[in-house]
Amino acid sequence: MKFLDEAKVYVRSGDGGAGCVSFRREKFIEFGGPDGGDGGRGGDVWVECVEGLNTLIDYRYQQHFKARKGEHGSGRNRAGGKGDDVVLKVPAGTEILAEDRETLIADMTTVGQRVRLAKGGNGGFGNAYFTTSTNRAPKHANPGLEGQEHWLWLRLKLIADAGLVGLPNAGKSTFLATVTAAKPKIADYPFTTLHPGLGVVRVDTREFVLADIPGLIEGAHEGVGLGDKFLAHVERCRVLLHLVEGTSEDAGAAYRLVRTELEAYGHGLEDKPEVVALSKADALDPETLALQLERLEAETGRKPLVLSSATRQGVTDALRALMARMDAAAAEAPMERVAWQP
């Protein structure tokens, strides 16, 4: 398995160590008194965003993460040691969701970002803590507090500036391979792309990240084909490049089908800025090209771009159109996040 974008994990912080009941019993010390130390604090569970990862595959093989318990206190006023923390390392773009899969706990978008998922329990007080002017020899201590435990969902949404959408065999992977150094699998049959891919585009001294996802077919929102689960990877994109295959039977109908699936999926994808392009223009004769452009323009209400990844016809124009749309969308308000208090 090369790519995993969702995983369920169990996290538990460490229990606090118990306080100690102890009294000094040394020769020649007349009034020893209590000297029980406090228990150590349990370890925390953290999630950290790191570079070098682009999948959640590590969490396929380990789902339970438990921090160490705090050590118990001991005599001579010795406090117990703190339990070791546990750190879950995730790639940028990972969302941490509660067990209901709806409550957003944290959105890990920046390398180095750390969020505490479960706080370790406090250690208990030893009997020395309870010494007062009227109670000179307390014989009780506190147990440590229990740690916290949660079932959480990790969901990866690739961070890209622009995303490619379209039917299978619309030329998305070929376009990605043409404009970036990415090497996606390319073949003349549907569903060649089985997992999302990323590439860095360079145009006019500027760069942006382009994401390619598996193609959509009719009924994808109901699980037909590969379904719409990969659409989450273009939710963060500022703009979409919608490629419509020029060699399809009806370019307008192909465009409408994908738009229907985007609207059924929701999550704001239907409202994202969109650049529409008729792909595989090199395989069309002038009459067919004009007919497909007319059908597509009638469906979209605007003149689509014409491109061919094989001959690079219109490729630069499409990239510049994406850059212009991204610049226009750069001032959008950031997504609100739910505060997490472990």
Beta partners for residue 130, in sequence order: none
Using CA atoms, how far apart are residues 295 and 255, in angstroms rounded to an integer?
10
Check whether 42 is labelled as a binding-site residue: no
Residue with tokens 């609100």: 336
Check whether 291 is labelled as a binding-site residue: no
Check whether 296 is labelled as a binding-site residue: no
Check whether 17 is labelled as a binding-site residue: no
Check whether 184 is labelled as a binding-site residue: no
Check whether 133 is labelled as a binding-site residue: no
Check whether 44 is labelled as a binding-site residue: no
Check whether 288 is labelled as a binding-site residue: no
Check whether 74 is labelled as a binding-site residue: no
Check whether 194 is labelled as a binding-site residue: yes
Check whether 280 is labelled as a binding-site residue: yes
CA-wise closest residue to 38 among 2, 76, 80: 80
Using CA atoms, how far apart are residues 333 and 313, in angstroms rounded to an integer?
35
Check whether 168 is labelled as a binding-site residue: yes
- Rounded to 5 degrees, what are φ and ψ at 115? -135, 135
Check whether 303 is labelled as a binding-site residue: no
Using CA atoms, how far apart are residues 150 and 341, in angstroms rounded to an integer?
13
Whether the Cβ atoms of residue 204 and residue 219 lie closer than 8 Å to each other: no
Q: What angle do CA 255, 156, 254 make, to 5 degrees?
A: 5
> Residue-wise over 177-188: b if at least 16 C-beta within 10 A, else e?
bbbbebebeeee
Check whether 204 is labelled as a binding-site residue: no
Check whether 171 is labelled as a binding-site residue: yes
Check whether 215 is labelled as a binding-site residue: yes
Q: What is the dihedral of CA 313, 316, 318, 323, to 10 degrees?
A: 180
Q: What is the dihedral of CA 109, 111, 113, 115, to 10 degrees?
A: 70
Check whether 22 is labelled as a binding-site residue: no
Check whether 27 is labelled as a binding-site residue: no
| Sequence-separated (6 or more) residues with CB below 8 Å from residue 245 | 166, 167, 169, 170, 171, 251, 254, 279, 280
Check whether 170 is labelled as a binding-site residue: yes
Check whether 8 is labelled as a binding-site residue: no
Residue numbers in the known binding site are: 166-173, 191-195, 212-215, 279-282, 308-310
Residue numbers in the known binding site for Mg(2+) are: 173, 193
Residue numbers in the known binding site for GTP are: 166-173, 191-195, 212-215, 279-282, 308-310
